[in-house]
Structure 1
Amino acid sequence: MRRYLAVGLDCYLCLVTAGLLVRPHVDSPSRPGAVVLLLGPVLVLSFLNQVVLTALVGGSAGKLIMGIRVVSLPDAGRPAPGQLVRRWLHGLCWLPLQPWYGLRAHLARPDGVAGPAPRGCEEGDPYAEPYADPAGLRQVRRSDLAAHRRAAARRAL
């Protein structure tokens, strides 16, 4: 739930900020429509939030507000910039199509009942398919990350 709220906050903050930036230019006669005008700042702000801010402080604005950090697997260290860019592009291209894929899968079944969970989605599996990240990153609570690092430091002694 916390992850979904963080994504919602990120979207909201990005759209509001971009809207405030382009508001003075919307009624100008030489500018394209508001939607086209809004697309550039939304992409730039999304990149700054998801890639640059995460590289600097470990999470986007929404994730930091919700107490979530983005870490690289398997060492729980800082993610590399390449991983963050790949993750951002994945979010822009693949995630918005998920409602379409779900609807198409639902309509493809004659009885309309969803099939069994995909292989690898067993309950309790921390690396189950729904939580897989194509860039090898993971979202964890800040308190859990601190506890993990303390335990790793004790094991190293």
Structure 2
Amino acid sequence: MRRCLAVGLDCYLCLLAAGLLVRFCLNFGGTGRAVALLAVQLVALSFANQVLLTMAVRASAGKLIMGVRVIRLPDAGRPGFRRLVLRWLYGLLWLPLGPWRRLRHGPAAHSGPERPPGRPAEPPEDLAGVRQVRSSDLRTYRAAVRRRTD
């Protein structure tokens, strides 16, 4: 639930920024030029939020508000620039096509392998080998690792 709310907050903040930038963009002549300028600014803001801010503090703005952090798998370390750029490109270019693919191929094509009854579903993993976790869970994990090595 936190992940969904964090994504929703990121989208809301992006729309808020778009609303603030529209007036600025309209001052630059024709509609086509204003739309192109707005698109470039939104892509730059998205990159700054999803890659640069995540590199600095392990979370985008929405994830910070919801207490979610991004970690590298399998060692729960800080994800590198390359992984974050791949993740951002995946979210920007591939995920928006998901509803279209499901409509075209049906939901069964994307449901994944069947799991035995009683076995919990695997947590979702991103393309670039990073995962989103709650901040409290990350603190608990690190404390357990420290106790284990001491």
> Normalised by the size of structure 2, how large is the TM-score?
0.87
Q: Does the 8 Å contact 1:19/1:38 carry over to 2?
A: no
Provide the alpha-carbon RMSD of the alignment. 2.1
The residue aligned with 1:54 is 54
Relative to structure 1, the CA distance from residue 69 to residue 154 in structure 2 (aligned partners, 3 Å threshold; closer, same or farther) is: same
The residue aligned with 1:89 is 89
The residue aligned with 1:26 is 26
The residue aligned with 1:109 is none
CA–CA distance in structure 2, aligned partners of residues 12 and 28 of structure 1: 25
Q: Structure 1 regions of 5+ residues with no counterpart?
A: 107-113
The residue aligned with 1:156 is 149
Question: What pairs with 1:3-152 in structure 2 (closer than 5 Å)?
Answer: 3-30=3-30, 32=32, 34-106=34-106, 114-115=107-108, 117-119=111-113, 123-127=119-123, 131-152=124-145
1:6-58 CA-to-partner distances (Å, cap 9, x unmatched) read 11111111221133134133154356354333211110000000000000001
Q: Does the 8 Å contact 1:18/1:45 carry over to 2?
A: no
Deviation at 1:118, TM superposition (A): 1.7
Deviation at 1:99, TM superposition (A): 0.4
CA–CA distance in structure 2, aligned partners of residues 155 and 44 of structure 1: 42
Relative to structure 1, the CA distance from residue 98 to residue 58 in structure 2 (aligned partners, 3 Å threshold; closer, same or farther) is: same
Identity of counterpart residues, as a percentage? 54
> Normalised by the size of structure 1, how large is the TM-score?
0.84
The residue aligned with 1:111 is none
Q: Does the 8 Å contact 1:71/1:137 carry over to 2?
A: yes
Residue identity in the other structure for 1:145: L
Number of residues of Structure 1 aligned to a counterpart in Structure 2: 147
1:96-146 CA-to-partner distances (Å, cap 9, x unmatched) read 00000111123xxxxxxx54942166652435xxx1211100000000000
Which is helix-richer, 1 or 2? 2
Q: Which runs of 4+ in 1 moved over 2 A?
A: 27-37, 114-117, 120-123
